[in-house]
Chains A and B, each alone.
Chain A
């Protein structure tokens, strides 16, 4: 990981603030956060997991949604650095994946196969509760986080918490639960849409996600909204490549 640039960091916080407006979409925001974090620290990939109502970590966003990366994130429902960070509310830093096989057998197998060499995980905290974790992957051996990097990434992780509290009526503690449930369901919608697009256009699931995200971006629409439309009217699928 490279030393974080103060200028780039402040740009990210401005972007975060700009995003927290009325038309706010949680999944889009979480995705942006993972992309920016990856760019900022020079990570190969960054993923974000949130706990569902049973306390099980579920994939919510990643800087790179390739199937093999989703796999590494999803396996952490039962073991892995995110699982540990979530359970202990403590960051997991600078783990060399070549040495992690005993600690997290399944996770390490998948992560090494994907070409990653180092991993870090940060608990996502809202008030006193830990509600998820952020995963950072490096592809180089010896890509170490120093103390400043750790604090910065934890701060970025904590901005996700700000987003979760942003909605109107912050006084209502219920908002967090409503929001999380909504986001979990939106995640499912996106996966369903990936499948529909992949089938309709005869492309891979990964390519389907690129099409979906590309279309949403070009037309400045929320990802979840486009996903809903695609599923409600599959005839639209043919128009998506444009």
Chain B
């Protein structure tokens, strides 16, 4: 999984393009920790946010929104004084942080660093979101991106199964997907059965 995630980070560096990328995951203790990065500088900058407890990545995790900082010099210093100066000193001018999440399930954050200042264009943003989606899919165990776009019933089913198995949302997602795979059924059909209460999950596998 780590290799796959590193590949996604590298793809971002090539495609966006970016100077470097890092990816952090949320642990059971609800704390973020760095999982992988494309180069030593990115690794250091990724980790630094958690050491300092501030930065675009940290904020993206807290607010559950992307944090896009095209000009760290202009915008970053007032928002994250300690972190921004360290990043600027490392030769990075822009940071773009994307939370990796499906609704209430928080999996991690992916950051892209650029030496030059400037915003991500519309197509670059689209690309970044697609990479974030891919990372979420990998973190959820290799899911295709259908689990991220809906429809509403899919997420309703996740909530229902979460309560049924007395577990987490992530576990609920896994159980639903595993069932669809094992029964060779489309995810959406399984979801509809759950929402229509024709299919219920137990606590035990």
Interface secondary structure of A, over-half rule: helix
Segment at the interface with A among B2-10, B34-42, B159-167: B159-167
Least Cβ–Cβ distance between B175 and chain A, in angstroms:
13
CB distance from B51 to the nearest CB of A (A): 25
Task: Tell me how far the C-beta of A10 lies from the nearest C-beta in chain B, rounded to whole angstroms.
Answer: 33
B155 sits at the interface (CB 8 A): yes
Check B158 against A177 for contact (C-beta < 8 Å).
no
Flag whether B101 is at the interface (Cβ < 8 A): yes
Interface of B is mostly: helix
CA–CA, A69 and B59, complex, Å:
35
Within 8 A of B (CB), among A180-197: 181-182, 185-186, 188-189, 191-197
In the complex, the answer to whether A181 meets B104 with C-beta atoms within 8 Å is no
Check if A53 sits within 8 Å of B163, measured CB to CB: no
Docked complex: A45-60 residues within 8 A CB-CB of B: 52-54, 56, 58-59
A–B pairs, 16, beta carbons within 8 Å: A53-B126, A54-B130, A174-B68, A178-B66, A182-B63, A186-B64, A191-B103, A191-B159, A192-B158, A195-B161, A196-B159, A200-B163, A205-B156, A231-B104, A231-B159, A234-B166
- Interface: A232 (CB within 8 A): yes
Are A193 and B151 touching (Cβ within 8 A)? no
A227 to B162: give the CA distance in the assembly, Å: 14
Task: Pick from B63, B67, B70, B162: contact of A192, CB below 8 A.
Answer: B162
- State whether B152 touches A196 (Cβ < 8 A): no
How close is A48's CB to chain B, nearest CB, in angstroms?
14
Q: Which of B51-109 contact A (CB under 8 A)?
A: 63-70, 75, 99, 101-104
In the assembled complex, the Cα of A48 lies from the Cα of B73 at a distance in Å of 38
| Extra contacts besides A74-B150, A191-B152 (4): CB < 8 Å | A53-B129, A172-B75, A174-B119, A192-B103
The 3 closest A-B pairs by CB, nearest first: A195-B159, A188-B103, A182-B65
A130 to chain B, nearest CB (A): 13
Binary B-proximity of A220-242 (CB < 8 A = 1, otherwise 0) = 00000001100110100100000
Of A53, A181, A188, A232, which one neighbours B102 at CB under 8 angstroms?
Answer: A188
Contact A199 B64 (CB under 8 A): no
B195 partner residues in chain A, CB cutoff 8 A = 195, 205
Which of B66, B152, B164 lies in contact with A177, CB distance below 8 A?
B66
Let me know if B149 is at the binding interface, CB within 8 A.
yes
A35 on the B face (CB < 8 A): no
Complex: A221 Cα to B155 Cα, angstroms:
22
On whether the beta carbons of B163 and A237 are closer than 8 Å, the reply is: yes
Number of B residues, CB within 8 Å of A: 37
- On chain B, the residues within 8 Å of A182 by CB distance are 63-66
Given the interface pairs A74-B150, A181-B129, A185-B103, the reply to whether A194 lies near B156 with Cβ below 8 Å is: yes
Residues in B with CB closer than 8 Å to A186 are: 64
Q: Is the CB of B160 within 8 A of A198?
A: yes
Least CB distance, B106 to chain A, in whole angstroms: 10
Residue-wise, chain B 142-174 has the 8 Å CB interface mask toward A (1 for contact) of 000000011110111111111110100100000
Known: A53-B125, A54-B126, A173-B119. A199 touches B102 (CB 8 A): no
> B103 contacts A74, CB within 8 Å?
no
Q: Does A70 contact B (CB under 8 A)?
A: yes
Report A42 CB to chain B, min CB distance, Å: 27
Are B164 and A199 in contact (CB-based, < 8 A)? yes
A200 to B160 Cα, complex, angstroms: 8
Please, which residue of chain B has its CB at the minimum distance from the CB of A183? B65
Answer yes or no: A179 CB below 8 A from chain B CBs.
Answer: yes
Whether B159 lies near A199 (C-beta < 8 A) is: yes
Given A54-B126, A74-B151, A182-B64, check contact A174 B70 (CB 8 Å). Answer: yes
B104 touching A227, Cβ below 8 Å: yes
Contact A191/B169 with A52-B149, A185-B101, A185-B103 known, Cβ cut-off 8 Å: no
Residues on A with beta carbons closer than 8 Å to the beta carbon of B102:
188
Chain A hits for B169, CB < 8 A? 192, 231
State which residues 152-179 of A face B: CB under 8 Å.
169, 172-174, 177-179
A59 CB to closest chain B CB, in angstroms?
A: 7
